[in-house]
């Protein structure tokens, strides 16, 4: 640790961080103990694992906490020695002087966190650190008769493992401390194998960073417990794992000017007192419980894998707008992550192809409260007591709304293991997010974005609907950006699609911007191209045409009188992951290469 000798303040900051890590690790260990005790798992195996946790893994985590505290004590002693050495030499270096700002000793309350950061004079050249400890103990016992002979060709392998990691990144101001451990047993007899296991993990992070004029103090803690089991008999096998855990996170953001004040202490900020938040600052609290389940099976050369993760939580945020007004946002959140794969599993080669998908949702209430008024203060008190906000504007309450958020991603994966060498490739088919705001009068506005084909095609949109459910086309916007390669640039340059007279090149981006009227015109062009027969009759020319299946698909079938333009435009621009096909569809329905709206090449 001698490379810290020239920076006494850094030594003491690191010691304080180690002490905080020990405290958090003790808390996570206590939480994991409660989780293990509450898991509905009975029988001799469960009792043995609980005993192993009590007598082996938990004491190991306790020793880790003690080691952190001892390391903190030594760091402080080294800092004191450095100061005495500097004094004996007739002076001290500037790096040995305490830096301005409060200490990082943890305090109760949601706003605790590291108190040093770029806005408070952190030394840019301060070194980071990273270290880890790992250990494993395995015991292999054969099942024997009293005379010592092997009863059956069976063996039992018991394994206990533990790990500890700590790191500090000066570039991001992030300190991470984590620990984990596991217990497992495997029984092998006559070509069959049975395995059972349990593992736990805990991690805490602290971050302080400055960006765009604001300093953020953030932290999180999480823990998990997983129970697993599996069996394999000749060419048939199956394994399953079930886990649950929790995660809590906080974030306090203040203007850099506030963070740079030597008298400022972020631990003084609390959402229970909105006036403790500096103007322009905010406090966010998130918590969630999550579960996970994994299954893998094999039969002869065929293999199947599936993984599902879910979470349920709550998000709360308070933003100080000015001296008297705060914006409060609160509501439940949920998420789902799912992946599956099928393939072949041979002795020397394993090939799996699969799909992945995830999404997160939240239904948030939001309102601006005037805490200088009795009504606004009472509404804030009700929010603190029950987590609810007014659904209507009134005295002391404004801008109330229901905010629905969604984000998700979908894709595919391919994994190949050949003679022990692993190769994998992931393809992101689409990723996007959207926000819908419903106001007390019933009006709704939407905004969002979605990306296709590994971000080579992107769509951004805005929508607005009044209280009677009537959409305002002039308030709608849709912007589509397509990154061009040699093939897609050729479609434009060959005259199939007019990009405002510009010549396209690979590496540029085609940008199409439509308002609500333009979207309707695009849908009308699509219907017109597909539903004008050779004799001028209104009929579908060819329902086997891929373009016809997009335009005429779904809820409106083959009825030419119904033209849900949003579904048509969405199908034209977002149904396929092939950008060349998208441009081909647009060229086919265009009028001599021209499309409604604004079409141009940028970049």
Q: What is the pLDDT of residue 154?
A: 66
Region 356-367 average pLDDT: 93
Query: Mutual orientation of helices 565-574 and 516-530 as an angle, nearest 10°?
Result: 80
Contact assessment for residue 425 and residue 370, using Cβ atoms and an 8 Å cutoff: no
Strand partners, 284: 251, 317
Token pair 């002693």 is at which residue?
Answer: 77
Dist CA 490 CA 47 (whole Å):
69
pLDDT one-digit tens code per residue, 271-325 = 889 999 999 999 999 999 999 999 898 877 788 889 999 999 999 999 999 999 9
Q: What is the pLDDT of residue 577?
A: 63
Residue with more model confidence, 87 or 482? 482
Conformation bin of residue 121: beta by default, left when phi > 0, alpha when psi is -120 to 50? left
Q: What is the pLDDT of residue 408?
A: 92
Task: DSSP for 146-194, please give it.
Answer: TTS-EEEEEEEEEEEEEEEEEEEETTTTEEEEEEEEEEEEEEEETTEEE
H helices of 172-272, in order, are 256-259
Region 554-582 average pLDDT: 62
Question: Does the pLDDT of residue 148 top 80, yes or no?
Answer: no
Region 85-98 average pLDDT: 45
Region 154-173 average pLDDT: 82
Q: Which of 81-85, 178-182, 189-193, 263-267 has the lowest mean pLDDT?
A: 81-85
Region 415-423 average pLDDT: 70
Q: What is the pLDDT of residue 535?
A: 47
Task: DSSP for 64-121, please give it.
Answer: HHHHHHHHHHHHHHHHHHHHHHHHHTTS--GGGSPPSS------SSTT------GGGT
Please report which helix (H) or strand (E) contains residue 24, including its range: helix 8-38
Using 50, 70 and 90 to split pLDDT, how confident is the model at 19? confident
Task: DSSP for 119-135, please give it.
Answer: GGT--TT---EEEEEEE
pLDDT one-digit tens code per residue, 527-552 = 777 655 444 444 544 556 666 666 65
Q: Which residues contact 477 (CB under 8 A, 6 or more apart)?
A: 460, 461, 462, 513, 514, 515
pLDDT one-digit tens code per residue, 44-70 = 656 666 666 676 667 766 777 777 787
Question: Does the pLDDT of residue 244 top 70, yes or no?
Answer: yes
Instruction: To the nearest 10°, report the CA torsion of 140, 144, 150, 155.
Output: -30
pLDDT one-digit tens code per residue, 164-175 = 888 888 888 888
Select, from the ranges 66-80, 215-229, 411-425, 578-592, the one with the highest average predicted confidence (pLDDT).
215-229
Q: What is the pLDDT of residue 249?
A: 94
Region 75-96 average pLDDT: 60
Question: Does the pLDDT of residue 101 top 70, yes or no?
Answer: no
Q: Which of 254-268, 296-310, 410-424 has the lowest mean pLDDT?
A: 410-424
Residue with more model confidence, 110 or 182? 182
* Residue 532 φ/ψ, nearest 5 degrees: -110, 110
Q: What is the pLDDT of residue 468?
A: 87
CB atoms within 10 A of CB 21: 26
Question: Does the pLDDT of residue 156 top 80, yes or no?
Answer: no
Contact assessment for residue 417 and residue 349, using Cβ atoms and an 8 Å cutoff: yes
pLDDT one-digit tens code per residue, 118-147 = 333 333 445 566 666 676 666 666 556 666
Region 422-432 average pLDDT: 77
Question: Does the pLDDT of residue 96 top 60, yes or no?
Answer: no
Select, from the ranges 12-16, 181-185, 459-463, 553-557, the one with the highest average predicted confidence (pLDDT).
459-463
């Amino acid at each position: 640790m001698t490379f810290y000798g020239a920076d006494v303040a850094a030594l003491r900051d690191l010691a304080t961080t180690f002490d905080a890590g020990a405290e958090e690790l003790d808390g996570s260990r206590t939480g994991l103990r409660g989780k293990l005790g509450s898991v509905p798992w009975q029988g001799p195996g469960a009792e043995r694992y609980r005993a192993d946790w009590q007598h082996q893994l938990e004491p190991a985590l306790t020793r880790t906490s003690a080691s952190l505290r001892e390391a903190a004590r030594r760091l402080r002693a080294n800092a004191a020695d450095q100061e005495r050495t500097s004094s004996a030499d007739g002076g001290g270096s500037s790096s040995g002087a305490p830096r301005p700002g409060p200490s990082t000793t943890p305090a109760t309350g949601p706003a605790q966190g590291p108190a040093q950061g770029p806005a408070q004079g952190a030394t840019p050249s301060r070194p980071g650190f990273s270290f880890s400890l790992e250990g494993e103990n395995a015991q292999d016992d054969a099942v024997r008769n009293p005379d010592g002979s092997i009863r059956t060709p069976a063996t039992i392998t018991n394994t206990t493992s533990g790990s500890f990691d700590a790191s500090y990144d000066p570039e991001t101001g992030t300190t991470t401390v984590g620990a984990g451990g596991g217990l497992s047993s495997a029984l092998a007899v006559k070509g069959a194998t049975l395995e059972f296991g349990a593992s736990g993990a805990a991690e805490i992070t602290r971050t302080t960073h400055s960006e765009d004029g604001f300093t953020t103090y953030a932290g999180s803690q999480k823990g998990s417990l997983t129970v697993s089991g599996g069996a394999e008999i000749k060419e048939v096998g199956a394994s399953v794992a079930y886990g649950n855990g929790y995660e809590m996170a906080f974030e306090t953001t203040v203007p850099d000017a506030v963070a740079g004040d030597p008298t400022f202490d972020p631990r003084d900020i609390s959402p229970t007192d909105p006036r403790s938040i500096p103007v322009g600052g905010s406090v966010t609290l998130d918590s969630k419980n999550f579960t996970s389940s994994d299954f893998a099976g094999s039969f002869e050369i065929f293999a199947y894998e599936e993984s599902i993760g879910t979470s349920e939580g709550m998000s709360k945020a308070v933003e100080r707008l000015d001296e008297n007004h705060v914006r409060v946002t609160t509501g439940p959140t949920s998420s789902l992550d799912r992946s599956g794969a099928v393939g072949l599993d041979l002795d020397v080669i394993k090939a799996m192809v699969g799909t992945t998908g995830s999404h997160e949702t939240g239904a948030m209430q939001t309102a601006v409260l005037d805490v200088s008024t009795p009504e606004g203060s009472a509404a804030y008190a009700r929010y603190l007591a029950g987590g609810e906000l007014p659904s209507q504007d009134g005295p002391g309450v404004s801008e109330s709304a229901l905010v629905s958020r969604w984000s998700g991603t979908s894709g595919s994966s391919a994994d190949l293991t050949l003679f022990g060498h692993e190769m994998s490739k992931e393809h992101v088919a689409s990723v996007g997010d959207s926000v819908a705001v419903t106001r007390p009068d019933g009006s709704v506005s939407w905004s969002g974005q979605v990306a296709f084909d590994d971000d080579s095609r992107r769509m951004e949109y805005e929508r607005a609907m009044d209280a009677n459910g009537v959409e305002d086309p002039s308030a709608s916007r849709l912007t589509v950006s397509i990154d061009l390669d040699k093939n897609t640039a050729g479609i434009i340059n060959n005259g199939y699609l007019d990009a405002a007279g510009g010549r396209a090149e690979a590496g540029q981006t085609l940008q199409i911007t439509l308002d609500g009227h333009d979207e309707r015109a695009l849908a009308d062009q699509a219907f017109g191209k597909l539903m004008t027969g050779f004799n001028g009759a209104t009929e579908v020319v060819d329902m086997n045409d891929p373009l016809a299946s997009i335009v005429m698909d779904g809820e409106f079938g083959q009825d030419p009188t119904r033209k849900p333009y949003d579904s048509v435009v969405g199908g034209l621009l977002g149904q396929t992951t092939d950008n060349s096909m998208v441009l081909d569809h647009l060229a086919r329905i265009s009028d001599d290469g021209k499309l409604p709206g604004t079409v141009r090449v940028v970049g």
